Amino acid sequence: MFDPFLEHLHAGLQERGAKAQEVDAQFAFKQSEKQSSTIRSWLWAVPGFRRWRVTRLDAGDTLQVLNSVAYPDCSLDHPILGVDLLWFGARQKLVAVLDFQPLQQGEAYLQRHYKELTALHERYPDLSGEETMRSFDPNQYFSPWLLFCRGGAEEAQTSLPPAFEGFMAAYWQMHDRACSEEGQLKAGEVADLQLEYDRYSAERDPAHGLFSSHFGKPWADAFLSDFLFPARL
């Protein structure tokens, strides 16, 4: 279900001069013992970014997942990109979270970096859910304008594709604008905030349970700490 989204994401990265980086073999590809699930991950070296990772889990009709997180260079203080798309086939349930994840929640920071996402949030009211994120404090690393949806097949096929493409375009626009402006945070502060984001996310990531159920807890633990949220530069 999410392959077109993955292709759009990777094509956009390559247009920006991204180069694929080697991923530890144990994380690049993993198949479940019953061979019913596979998970693939990519790392990209992208101009203007310290780290950009992508993960695609395919469990057939049971579960589909696409996740991506991008950390800007520490010379840039703009938000982290966060993409989480999940499809639960048995329940015909879509969960989509697209956000510019803020390093800070201050009004000045939000005003500087959220012009594009605010406009997108207004354009897609059906993806502007008011439901509180259950595993996270929404006032920590989520913005007031995140695109969040708990829907079904209709949303997955109609609203989500253009919203995803618009979201990626908006993030690139925000990034380009940030590159042309002077940041308000020093590189050391940005580095510390990005590492704190990793530590916070690793403690609360709801996907860990999914990975454990499909690929075993030892592998899921290592994947979480060494690939998803390594908390090191």
User: Which pLDDT score, from 0 to 100, does residue 128 have?
Assistant: 72
Asked if residue 102 belongs to a domain, the reply is yes
pLDDT tens for residues 144-155? 899 988 889 888
- What percentage of the chain reaches a pLDDT higher than 90? 80
User: Which pLDDT score, from 0 to 100, does residue 129 have?
Assistant: 56
Question: Whole-model pTM?
Answer: 0.94
User: What CATH code is carried by the domain that includes residue 68?
Assistant: 3.40.1500.20
- Which structural domain, as residue segments, surrounds residue 152? 3-228
3-state secondary structure string, 16-81?
A: CCCEEECCCHHHHEEECCCCCCEEEEEEEECCCEEEEEEEEEECCCCEEEEEEEEEECCCCCCCEE
Using pLDDT thresholds of 50, 70 and 90, give the confidence band for residue 63: very high
Number of domains in the chain: 1
Asked if residue 233 belongs to a domain, the reply is no
DSSP letter at 106 equals -
Q: CA 192: distance to chain centroid?
A: 19
Contact 166, 127 (CB under 8 A): no
Asked if residue 115 belongs to a domain, the reply is yes
